[in-house]
Structure 1
Amino acid sequence: MGRHASWRIPEEHRVDPAYIEAGDAIAMGQAVYDRRMALGIDQVELAERAGLSVDEVDRIEGGGTAPTLPLLRALAVALDAKLDLSVDTEETHVSFVPHAA
């Protein structure tokens, strides 16, 4: 089973959309990083697999961008995994689950 990243919104920020979006981006970036590490590939290889630049991969992993659905699909394919994403009012859970061999 793949690792997952979670982000719980502190009480004082639950109504701040910018804070929520930043937390979601951080959780996604951590999940991409964790899966990339599990595969033993570097950012260059992930970028090639996903049709991205290394700078784009770095921004995603650093939580600097919120990927679109087409980009999420490209990342899932490039990471040879299924993307599990759960968004609730207080938490976001993101994981890339490896495909069965």
Structure 2
Amino acid sequence: MNHSMWKTRRTRQLAGEAVEYDQEYVDARLAGDLGQAVHDRRIELGLSQAELAERSGMTQPQVSRMEGGDTVPALPLPRRPAKALDGSLHLTIDEGDSYVTFTPHAA
């Protein structure tokens, strides 16, 4: 295949073509989505990473790595910041895709 015929996965997906993803790609996206959800809620509550770490029984570097999408945490770990941020963390994992949303508890 020459370079002019090469298409990115996103371009192929938008064109309606079937796109397969490597497991590493799926894991990285899940880690990024999870980190963004935790970060957004932490900022919304006006907490620092250190304050969230203290509330959730984690260390500040663990919070930083989670927010940065540097790691895919074991399933029990996201429970800690969800509780500390007074909300529910929803993980939707499907073949080739994943979504993370955070829903604050009603006041």
TM-score (norm 2): 0.78
Contact 1:35 1:79 in 2 (8 A): yes
**Which residue is 2:22 aligned to?**
16
What displacement does 1:13 show? 7.1
Of structures 1 and 2, the larger Rg is shown by 2
1:64 corresponds, among 70, 89, 92, to: 70
Q: Secondary structure of 1:69's match?
A: coil
**Which residue is 2:101 aligned to?**
95
Contact 2:26 2:98 in 1 (8 A): no
Q: Which runs of 4+ in 1 moved over 6 A?
A: none
Structure with the greater relative contact order (CA < 8 A, sep ≥ 6): 1 or 2?
1
What are the ranges of 5 or more consecutive residues in structure 2 without an aligned counterpart? 1-8
Structure 2 Cα separation of the partners of residues 15 and 96 of structure 1: 25
Deviations 1:21-77 (A, max 9, x none): 111100100011011011110101000011111111000000011122221111111
Provide the identity percentage.
47
Task: Trace 1:1-101 onto structure 2 (pairs within 5 A).
Answer: 10=10, 14-101=20-107
Contact 1:13 1:19 in 2 (8 A): no
Q: How many residues align?
A: 93
